[in-house]
Structure 1
Amino acid sequence: MAPRHHTSAFRAPSVPAVLLLACTLTAGVVLLISGVRGHEPPPRPAAARTVRTAAGPSGPTVPPLPPADPVRLRIAAIGVDAPMTRVGLDAAGALQAPPPDEPDHAGWYGDGTPPGSAGTAVATGHVDTPAGDPGVFYDLGALTEGATIEVSRADRRTAVFTVRAVELYDRKKFPSEKVYGGSGRAELRLITCGGGYTERTGYLGNVVVYATLTAVT
């Protein structure tokens, strides 16, 4: 049977709560990034890769940067070198992923925190395509603690993040506060679909990478 492509959506509270979402991305948000399956399942994070809270990294951090749009995302450990595109909310209050014809793009929530600035920035990407080919975040679950994520910005600075945890969540039990909670530091979350898969509902979970700003170049 040909793989099906399901609408990708990041379910947010209805207006006016969406305005709060744009600043904090806190409780009440359920991520529903969907995908298709025409290949081997994407890597899953090891069970040992957990993070106790959304607060603080174990290593050193640097002061946050002023806001600037991200331009490109690089993750050498899994071969990602992707342009970044701004995504926003649709009429139903859902954060849209990059268009299906841009599976090699990473989308960042443009009404939220830019990567490198104080707060929790969020970037999403497809795990696969409508044809079943791997997307930009296909190998996201293979990342490990200590891996480096680089975000080139429009101000010609590069925000360097260090991964401190990778987790896989059942999308029906998505821990919004833990994922989107801010600490005053510059945090980054990379999110895609993962876990089990059914033809009717698509992927059943979400892979979340937790990273913290540790250098600026």
Structure 2
Amino acid sequence: MSSRSDTTARRAGGRHGSPWRAVGAAVVVLLAMAGFGLIGASMRSTEPVRPPQPRAQAGPGAPERAASTPLDDADLDGGESGAAGPATGLPRSTPTTITIPRIGVNAKIMTLGTNPDGTVEVPPLDQAMRAGWYEPGPSPGEVGNSVIVGHVDSAAIGAAVFFSLGALQPGDVITVSRADGGSVDFRVDSVAAHPKNAFPTEQVYGPSDRPGLRVITCGGTFDEARGDYPDNVIVFASLAT
């Protein structure tokens, strides 16, 4: 996503001065305003191939939530309509792989935390075909929003693990395997590109009473002058029954 050094490139949209579990949503939003980093590295080519972009584009004046339509209570709880209540999540377990059939992703997942400056880590560029799970947040299947990030491309290899993330559509399935031997299916609610200076931090890292998944990479047209992408492509997904 950037032709800068690894030190500069290893930053992700949404800043956190403390682990996700230790701060409220309001604090997360304030920290996000301090700045946004990147996930990826530019592809060096005379005719660069642009990553597919989502149909929904969330501009600076748009609501933070990207027109996401979560599953209804009956879908999440397995009960009848009207029997609303908090969804029951799975016990905590480290994710090991992420599979997205529509875009041909079957990638190993590494565990990530935060950098000394409070930004979210991303996988090193020499492992651009691996995804990364933000470990201070919920694990996939736990109640709350689990966050998985990955590079869109790399100067060394070209298309990286989430190059085609913007091509996902509502209803597509994302499967995350876990260290406990189980796996969790999520259904895509929406996919949108958000400018990095209008990152929807609360909707990505904020609290939720239901198991959800957020998958993030870079998007937009690579800015050669700045050496980065202007947007983040974000997939909002809900637990599938």
The two structures share one fold, judged by TM-score above 0.5: yes
Residue 181 of structure 1 and its aligned partner are, at CA, apart by 2.8
Residue 47 of structure 1 and its aligned partner are, at CA, apart by 2.8
The one-letter code sitting in structure 1 at the alignment partner of 2:54 is P
Aligned counterparts of 2:107 and 2:155: Cα–Cα separation in 1 = 19
Q: Is 2:228 the partner of 1:202?
A: yes
Residues 19 and 71 of structure 1: CA distance in aligned 2, closer, same or farther (over 3 Å): closer
The match for 2:143 is: 118
Residue 60 of structure 1 and its aligned partner are, at CA, apart by 1.4
Aligned counterparts of 1:89 and 1:48: Cα–Cα separation in 2 = 28
The one-letter code sitting in structure 2 at the alignment partner of 1:33 is L
Residue 164 of structure 1 and its aligned partner are, at CA, apart by 0.4
Cα displacement string for residues 44-98 of structure 1 (whole angstroms, at most 9, x for unaligned residues)? 0013898436x84347125311100001100001000000000111111111111
Residue 214 of structure 1 and its aligned partner are, at CA, apart by 1.1
Runs (5+) with no aligned partner, structure 2 = 59-64, 78-87
The match for 1:45 is: 54
CA contact (8 A) 1:22 1:112 kept: no
The match for 2:84 is: none
TM, length-normalised to structure 1: 0.87
Aligned counterparts of 1:74 and 1:103: Cα–Cα separation in 2 = 16
The match for 1:166 is: 191
The match for 2:239 is: 213
Give the structure with the higher percent strand.
1
Residue 24 of structure 1 and its aligned partner are, at CA, apart by 6.0
Q: Is 2:12 the partner of 1:19?
A: no
The one-letter code sitting in structure 1 at the alignment partner of 2:38 is I
Residue 190 of structure 1 and its aligned partner are, at CA, apart by 0.2
Between structure 1 and structure 2, the one with the greater Rg is: 2
1:60 maps to which of 75, 88, 91 = 75
The match for 2:81 is: none
Residues 20 and 103 of structure 1: CA distance in aligned 2, closer, same or farther (over 3 Å): closer
CA contact (8 A) 1:24 1:112 kept: no
Residue 210 of structure 1 and its aligned partner are, at CA, apart by 0.2
CA contact (8 A) 2:177 2:183 kept: yes
RMSD over aligned Cα, in angstroms?
2.4
Aligned counterparts of 1:21 and 1:201: Cα–Cα separation in 2 = 33
CA contact (8 A) 1:31 1:206 kept: no
Cα displacement string for residues 135-162 of structure 1 (whole angstroms, at most 9, x for unaligned residues)? 0000000000000000000111111000
**Runs of 4 or more off by more than 4 Å in structure 1?**
20-25
Aligned counterparts of 1:4 and 1:19: Cα–Cα separation in 2 = 29
Residue 134 of structure 1 and its aligned partner are, at CA, apart by 0.3
Number of equivalenced pairs: 209
Aligned counterparts of 2:131 and 2:167: Cα–Cα separation in 1 = 17
The match for 1:4 is: 3
Residue 23 of structure 1 and its aligned partner are, at CA, apart by 6.1
1:155 maps to which of 171, 175, 180 = 180
The one-letter code sitting in structure 1 at the alignment partner of 2:55 is A
Residue 12 of structure 1 and its aligned partner are, at CA, apart by 1.8
Aligned counterparts of 1:151 and 1:68: Cα–Cα separation in 2 = 11
TM, length-normalised to structure 2: 0.79
The one-letter code sitting in structure 2 at the alignment partner of 1:4 is S
The one-letter code sitting in structure 2 at the alignment partner of 1:167 is A
The one-letter code sitting in structure 2 at the alignment partner of 1:57 is L
Cα displacement string for residues 103-141 of structure 1 (whole angstroms, at most 9, x for unaligned residues)? 110000112111111101100000011326000000000
> Sequence identity, in percent?
34
CA contact (8 A) 2:89 2:210 kept: yes
Aligned counterparts of 2:185 and 2:96: Cα–Cα separation in 1 = 13
Structure 2 residue matching 1:92: 3-state secondary structure: coil
The one-letter code sitting in structure 1 at the alignment partner of 2:52 is P
- Greater Cα shift, 156-165 or 170-179: 170-179
Q: Is 2:122 the partner of 1:107?
A: no
Aligned counterparts of 2:176 and 2:219: Cα–Cα separation in 1 = 23
